């Protein structure tokens, strides 16, 4: 048990100090397929809003050829992946799926304005516990 805690602390330290991440992922995928039906595409610093722009991107990244526009909201265009089996809700190319799918979810999701679905098996936990942030804030408030 002690070793598991140590490994988690080392992982958090690496994510925070080396990769400059603020969250770490916990939990497990339940293979519901929801995240494959509500996809936003970020290119450089903006979320794709325009179908014409997306068509150009499809030539640069072959994976994007699998994505179909199904709507748009205040964040941007919403895509569904054609590799998702509509009956089983499983990925048809699971063993060949791209890295972006293997690494999902990452905290960049939040910077795009997205969120995990309520019943997603993963959670994104802040690396610094909230109680420490609140303690720090209250200390700096007392100093001011």
Residues 81-110 within binding reach of ligand SF4 (CB under 6 A): 81, 83-84, 91, 93, 97, 101, 104
Q: Which of 138, 142, 137, 120 is nearest to 28 (CA)?
A: 120
Q: Which of 17, 18, 47 is nearest to 109 (CA)?
A: 47
Q: What is the smallest separation between the CB atom of 70 and ligand SF4, expressed in angstroms?
A: 13
The vertex-92 CA angle with 108 and 41, nearest 5°, equals: 25
Q: Does 121 bind ligand SF4 (CB under 6 A)?
A: yes
44, 61 Cβ separation under 8 angstroms: no
Around Cβ 73, how many Cβ atoms within 10 Å? 10
Q: What is the smallest separation between the CB atom of 118 and ligand SF4, expressed in angstroms?
A: 10
57, 96 Cβ separation under 8 angstroms: no
Q: Does 120 bind ligand SF4 (CB under 6 A)?
A: yes
Q: What is the smallest separation between the CB atom of 120 and ligand SF4, expressed in angstroms?
A: 3
Residues 33-72 within binding reach of ligand SF4 (CB under 6 A): 33-36
Task: Give me the residues that bind ligand SF4 (CB under 6 A), please.
Answer: 29-36, 81, 83-84, 91, 93, 97, 101, 104, 117, 120-122
């Amino acid at each position: 048990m002690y070793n598991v805690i140590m490994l988690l602390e080392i992982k958090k330290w690496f994510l925070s100090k080396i990769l400059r991440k603020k969250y770490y992922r916990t939990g497990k995928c339940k293979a519901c397929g929801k995240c494959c039906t509500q996809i936003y595409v970020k290119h450089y610093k903006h979320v794709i809003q325009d179908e014409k722009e997306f068509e150009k991107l499809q030539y640069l990244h072959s994976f994007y050829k699998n994505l179909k526009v199904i709507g748009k909201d205040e964040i941007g265009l919403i895509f569904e992946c054609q590799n998702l089996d509509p009956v089983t809700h499983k990925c048809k190319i699971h063993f060949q799926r791209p890295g972006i799918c293997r690494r999902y979810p990452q905290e960049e999701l939040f910077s795009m304005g997205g969120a995990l679905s309520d019943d997603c098996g993963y959670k994104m936990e802040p690396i610094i516990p909230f109680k420490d942030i609140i303690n720090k804030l209250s200390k700096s408030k007392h100093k001011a």
